[in-house]
Amino acid sequence: MKLHLLGVNGPFPESRGATSGYLLQTEQELLQFDLGSGVLARLTALAPPESLSALFLSHWHFDHISDLPVLMYRLEAMGETLRVFAPVDESSVLRRAVASASCFQLNDIVPGQEVSVGGSTVLVCEARHPVPAVGYRVKAGSRVFGYTGDTNSLPELADRYRGCHLLLADGLFPEENWSGQKPHLSAALAADLAREAGAEHLVLTHLNPLYSPRLLLREAQSRHPHVTLAAAGTVLEV
């Protein structure tokens, strides 16, 4: 599998950046995870968006979905439809728009559910965030990829992401800015999660332009031997 990092910032982009959006390329499928601000143009540079096998949303916060209404215009122009998997959030205006658009086939999902897309199995994982949110664990052949979405710590996460070859994790906060009430993990806690889950490679994402990426990397590297900072435009082997 290949993971294309299209947008790695949140909740707003850095200069020339984009918020959350990741394209997972398996042997048979193109699975898109989140479609934040600036992601659609980068996706289009790699593949026609209507060629996606499915779009998986972690939750309905704007930094993860804001390119969806624009994707709707493209799909309508092409006469194409796209399967979208997302948790239910009745408070989301955009969810109502997506649910009523004929170009989107919206599927409600809950943690613990498994979705098959071609040869890939996608497990929906829990997340702890101010709105309904999930993460995903994808198995394709013998390789396993995990994406936490936005989350603070939860005891079951290490089991959910067990054995990931690459874990893409929310590591937004430096240690001194994190608390149990915040909506995100710290980089150090993302590293603890990766270690407890036995994940080979941790990639820190949801990078907030207000925090030093070098500090996040240093704090995570003190807890896990193989940590990379997500960088938009790069491709990683899973």
User: Whose Cβ is closer to Zn ion: residue 172's or residue 194's?
Assistant: 172
Residues contacting residue 63 through CB under 8 Å, at least 6 positions apart: 9, 10, 11, 12, 19, 20, 36, 37
Q: Does 170 participate in binding Zn ion (rule CB under 5 A)?
A: no
Question: Using CB under 5 A, which of 29, 150, 192, 219 touches Zn ion?
Answer: 150
Q: Which residue, chain included where needed, has tokens 């430096």?
A: 174
Position closest to Zn ion via CB: 61
Does position 192 interact with Zn ion (CB under 5 A)? The reply is no
Choose which of 1, 4, 5, 10 interacts with Zn ion (CB under 5 A): 10
Cβ-based nearer residue to Zn ion, 55 or 140: 55
- Non-local (6+) Cβ contacts of 164 within 8 A are 137, 144, 145, 146, 194, 197, 198, 199, 200
Q: Which one of 10-18, 115-123, 159-167, 218-226 is the stretch in contact with Zn ion (CB under 5 A)?
A: 10-18
Could you write out the three-class secondary structure of 145-171? EEECCCCCCCCCHHHHCCCCCEEEEEC
Which listed residue (29, 34, 63, 126) binds Zn ion by CB under 5 A? 63
Considering the rule CB under 5 A, would residue 160 count as an interface residue with Zn ion?
A: no
Pick 20 or 228: Cβ nearer Zn ion = 20
Six-digit token pair at 201? 């490679």
- Summarize as ranges the residues that interact with Zn ion (CB under 5 A): 10, 61, 63, 150
